[in-house]
Amino acid sequence: MTAYESAKQEYRESGIDVEAALKVLAGIPVSVHCWQGDDVIGFDGADALSGGIQTTGNYPGRARNFEELKADIREAFSLMPGKKRLNLHASYAVLGADRGKVDRDGYTYRYFEPWVEFAKELGLDGIDFNPTFFGHPKMKDGLSLSSPDEETRRFWVEHGRRCMEIAAELGKAFGKPCLVNIWIPDGYKDVPADRLGPRLRLKKSLDEILEGYDGKWVIPAVESKVFGIGLESYTVGSNEFYQNYAAQKGICCLLDNGHYHPLEYVSDKIPALLAFYDKVALHVTRGVRWDSDHVVLLEDELKEIAKEIVRNDATEKVLIGLDYFDASINRISAWVTGQRAMQKALLYALLMPHEAMRKLQDEANFTELMVLGEEVKTLPFGAVWKEYLGRQGLSETYLPEIRKYENKVCKER
């Protein structure tokens, strides 16, 4: 008997159908962020990251343009199991000869068509999209949609509107709606003199961006945050602000698990929102002491997040996206490791006896619930994971391949 066969049997004895789990896992799309490949720089901005977020490290071989980023994505994606989408920021527009002539308030779908072609070539499930309200000279005093300067605010509203149109085309291109996530860094380093004014301006800007978007192909989302570097005292787009805004407008909240106080858990927020919303979007990341965006690893909170998705039958309601950027290690290995960790967490959650555990909870049999919870932790998960990879022509070992690519391609940069 193979290790997989014997694992399957052991799971069966615990009431778990491994084949069914593998099938579900293969159908859950994970949106992989393009920005791990180039330290969130993009092709069109200030050539440096700003907006309260930061990549640290100077590992050699960063992708510097469309061709290099495409090559790295091709390499990374070839080592990632499961169904994948590509998450693009507007700053990755392929401007060609229009570079320097057109600004973010003039972007059209045309500049993203090369990405569509590429995503189709890779057989991806679709593209998700993000207006880029950072890393650009038009940010005035660090503010975008909440700027008191009307010209600045209008520029960024126009950017948002263009992105909604681009997203509709991206949705149509794949026959599936495109998630458009709005995150802005706007905030203040020190105690503000006005907390309401910026929020009212942001509200007005969002209303303008969301005027007449194509609801068939676009799923708009808003991403809150507790603070950014250099913006420690106040964030315009806070959790309460966006959750109320999303509820009122019938749009989606995006939860980034690096954007809350350290003892607030996104795994607990998912079911809270599922009670009210049809869809919840995620930025899965790993914060170390702060919103540091370390590579996602198979840790407890990631497992809890996956459990909430799986046991609430929410694999189509929770839109999973990754958001991390580490510039201190091989960027492709960062990409692959994080995406695989997400897949592992989902598989782990799919291999749990949720119905039995729920019943024990409802019967207040907390003793048995605790014991069973501990028992399932040592079931032969690894053998099932290996089988999942094997069926897609992948193995657990991926670093040698990445090293080969690094020596051949990245070292030449």
| Rounded-to-integer distance, Cα 365 and Cα 334, Å | 42
Q: What angle do CA 152, 157, 161 make, to 5 degrees?
A: 150
Pattern 247-286, Zn ion, x by CB under 5 A? ---------x--------------------------x---
CB of 6 to ligand RNT, least distance (A): 42
Select 325 or 398, whichever has its Cβ closest to ligand RNT: 325
Residue with tokens 């899965």: 284
Applying CB under 6 A, what is the total number of residues that bind ligand RNT?
Answer: 11
130 near ligand RNT (CB under 6 A): yes
| Rounded-to-integer distance, Cα 54 and Cα 43, Å | 17
List 70, 153, 162, 225, residue binding ligand RNT (CB under 6 A) = 225
183 near ligand RNT (CB under 6 A): yes
User: What are the residue numbers of the active site?
Assistant: 183, 223, 225, 256, 259, 283, 291, 293, 323
How many alpha carbons lie under 13 Å from residue 275 in its C-beta half-sphere?
Answer: 4
The pairing of strands 280-284 and 234-235 is unpaired
**CB count in 10 Å sphere of residue 358:** 12
Alpha helix (H) ranges present in 175-278?
196-209, 239-249, 266-274
Radius of gyration in angstroms for the set of CA atoms belonging to the chain, rounded to a whole number: 22
| Rounded-to-integer distance, Cα 44 and Cα 63, Å | 14
CB of 371 to ligand RNT, least distance (A): 39
283 near ligand RNT (CB under 6 A): yes
List 323, 326, 387, 406, residue binding ligand RNT (CB under 6 A) = 323
CB of 285 to ligand RNT, least distance (A): 7
List 7, 21, 28, 40, residue binding ligand RNT (CB under 6 A) = 40
186 near ligand RNT (CB under 6 A): no
State which of positions 45-104 bind Zn ion (CB under 5 A): none
CB of 184 to Zn ion, least distance (A): 12
Select 179 or 350, whichever has its Cβ closest to ligand RNT: 179
Partner touching 246 among ligand RNT, Zn ion, none, CB below 5 to 8 Å by kind: none
Residue with tokens 């909240």: 253
| Rounded-to-integer distance, Cα 177 and Cα 179, Å | 7
Strand-pair partners of 83: 29
The four Cα atoms 71, 72, 75, 76 give a dihedral, to 10 degrees, of: -150
CB of 261 to ligand RNT, least distance (A): 15
Partner touching 40 among Zn ion, ligand RNT, none, CB below 5 to 8 Å by kind: ligand RNT
Partner touching 130 among ligand RNT, Zn ion, none, CB below 5 to 8 Å by kind: ligand RNT
φ, ψ for residue 334, nearest 5 deg: -60, -50
266 Cβ neighbours under 8 A, 6+ residues apart: 255, 256, 257, 260, 282, 301, 305
Which candidate, 396, 353, 400, 409, places its Cα nearest to that of 74?
409
Strand-pair partners of 182: 222
CB of 326 to ligand RNT, least distance (A): 12
Which candidate, 1, 336, 24, 50, places its Cα nearest to that of 187?
50
State which of positions 43-82 bind ligand RNT (CB under 6 A): 53
Pattern 210-249, Zn ion, x by CB under 5 A? ----------------------------------------
Partner touching 144 among Zn ion, ligand RNT, none, CB below 5 to 8 Å by kind: none
Which candidate, 85, 32, 35, places its Cα nearest to that of 340?
32
335 near ligand RNT (CB under 6 A): no
Using CB under 6 A as the criterion, which residues of the chain lie in contact with ligand RNT when the complex forms? Answer: 35, 40, 53, 130, 183, 223, 225, 256, 283, 291, 323
Using CB under 5 A as the criterion, which residues of the chain lie in contact with Zn ion when the complex forms? Answer: 256, 283, 323
